[in-house]
Amino acid sequence: MLNIDYRDADRRAVLTWATADESSPWFDVIRRLILDATDDAKQEAAFALSLPWWNFIALRNRFGEICAGYQLVPGSTLGVSQKAAELLRQSRRASDGYQLAMQAHAVDEQQLRSKLQQLGFNRTLTEKQVRNVGRIAAIPAGATFSVPGAGKTTEALATFFYRANDDERLLVIAPKNAFAAWDEQIEDCMPHLQTKFTRLRGGKEKIAKLLDDDPRWMLITYQQLARVPDLISAHIAQHKTHVFLDESHRIKSGVGKQTARAALGLAHLPVGKLIMSGTPMPQAIEDLIPQFAFLYPEIPANADNVVELVKPIYVRTNKAELGLPAVDRVMAQLPMAPLQSELYKLMKFEVSREAATALNTRSKQAFRSLGRSVARLLQFVSNPALLSSEISFAHPDLLAAVLAEGDGPKLKYVLKKARQLAREGHKVLIWSSFVRNVEYIAQRLADLGAVYIHGGVDAGEEDDDETREGKIKLFHDDPNVRVMVANPAAASEGVSLHRVCHHAIYLDRTFNAAHYLQSEDRIHRFGLPPDQKTSIEIVECLDSVDETVRMRLGLKIGAMAEALEDSSLRPDPIALDPTDIEDYEYYSTGLSPDDIEALLKDINGGQW
């Protein structure tokens, strides 16, 4: 007899059987189905298999077909615990909910505005926000993929207040740098509540105490959720809770990463769900699969069908609809210094060997090793001095000669251009993906009052000049602070600079399309006057990895534009003017197999 149970402690389906069952014809079929379903499935004992519950319910239809085909009958040859049966019935209702969502009519505008007004919702929704909220408020789980500045947080809160009963709570899972925005928005939207979100942080014991107070509004980071999934899931199971994922592309890795696995493990518990991202598929279409699985884990999704599955349940306001003035993108392409070029040739062929190994073995170790090497290559092109501390560098004599040439051409150009813009009275935002570059550039431009932000700069109060918020305030308000230098991994979300800065320079870019698009949006977002010119300059070295990065970013952004039917996402042609001459895990996860194949093709084709 096959038995199915649900284990509350870790939210897993547990399948058990007797010794005699192993000779039954169904045994190998079901065992293979479970083990092939996810890397997180495991054999726990001689006669027990388990897998995350959300993975199990995604197999529900196939599992049911197998049981019917082999005549496994509930109560006779198939045992289902009371809790598992209850959750299976719930998943059937959720599956039906998706079918209903496809046919649902948007909430009438007058009805939406009237109810929000009755509730004391203070902010007047724009026409586009009414359209979006009307749609996602009509379905049990949905997505808003509006561009930064379009008001996704306002849309999310309006959706919650329209749908939620007085006894229902809201948990937002978000990057730490988005926390302040949620407090600001709930204060602006529902000022009479005089409330803020409870921030679930400080370790397991402190979070447990915070949850004991049963707050209605809760914020937690993806990283913190991964440390206390049992506490959060138990709380949601006991209290009716809506769960929103802010910057939901952060779970694109699926069960392969602990943070994503923790979020997906909650998928069957909330009474309402919403995902939010301006860049929902930064690498490829597959990025949508875990996000859709959080919303509707009962509906099998793959790369072939996920775009069609997402279309009925997402809304988006694009830049064209916001009426933003066009961006003026310019590219400065520079030749490498002579000795830098010689050393680069040696380094790129070493990367080629590692790339071939990574594609052949597909092991995490090989991808991480390649991630480090590609990061090193990007560092070397942006600023050769970044490699000076590498004791085991393979070509120390040649590297010493390169360093004797002085700053690399890209760094020289960026420093010179920043000074020129500052002299003309402009504030300048400089982007680099490398922490040491960020600090070094700020130091070199200290006479321009340069401030910097990277992952090592803590969030805090605006009146503390050493915090992230303090540095942003200085850049906003102090006329002597002409330059901000930032790392897209740390400052591409939750920062608005468009009111004071209209010039951005990229010293380097990586394969991460989300970081690039969102970093652009720091100075090009809703609120700009129609005649405001926004200039974005991208600095590249000729015949280098920079060109592969540009090509791959263009393909990724184009693919996302096609999937979201958003022509405003397509990267503009960048004018070429030939006269305008630390975290390895981040790079390894930012490097897809297609990126690696492109690297190999360019290296072996002799393009760089």
pLDDT for 255 equals 65
Tell the CATH superfamily of the 327-604 domain.
P-loop containing nucleotide triphosphate hydrolases (3.40.50.300)
Is the per-residue pLDDT at 41 higher than 70?
yes
Q: What angle is formed at CA 259 by the lines to CA 253 and CA 262, rounded to 5 degrees?
A: 105
> What pLDDT score was predicted for residue 583?
45
Note the pLDDT of residue 168: 96
Calculate the alpha carbon distances from 563 to 250, 520, 556 in Å: 18, 21, 11
CATH 3.40.50.10810: does it fit domain 119-317?
yes
- Do residues 264 and 254 lie in contact, with contact meaning Cβ atoms separated by under 8 Å? yes
Q: pLDDT band at 577, cuts 50/70/90?
A: very low
Tokens of 348: 């790129």
Q: How far apart are CA 256 and CA 72, in angstroms?
A: 32
| Across 47-61, 103-117, 158-172, 327-341, least confident range | 47-61
Give me 14's structure tokens.
């547990």
- Read off the DSSP letter of residue 250: G
pLDDT bin (cut points 50, 70, 90) of residue 396 is confident
Confidence grade of residue 202 (pLDDT, cut at 50, 70, 90): very high
Tell me how many helices (H) and strands (E) the chain has.
26, 19
Q: Which of 256, 252, 175 minimizes the C-alpha distance to 455? A: 175
C-alpha count within 13 angstroms, C-beta hemisphere, residue 29: 14
* Cβ-based burial of 37 (10 A; exposed 0-12, middle 13-18, buried ≥19): middle
Q: Quote the pLDDT of residue 570.
A: 60
| pLDDT band for position 493 (cuts 50, 70, 90) | low
Tokens matching residue 426:
């402009």
pLDDT 10s digits, 286-336:
999 999 999 998 888 999 999 999 999 999 998 888 888 888 999 999 999
Range from 444-453, 470-479, 483-492, 571-580 carrying the lowest mean pLDDT:
571-580
In angstroms, the CA 602 to CA 94 distance is 47
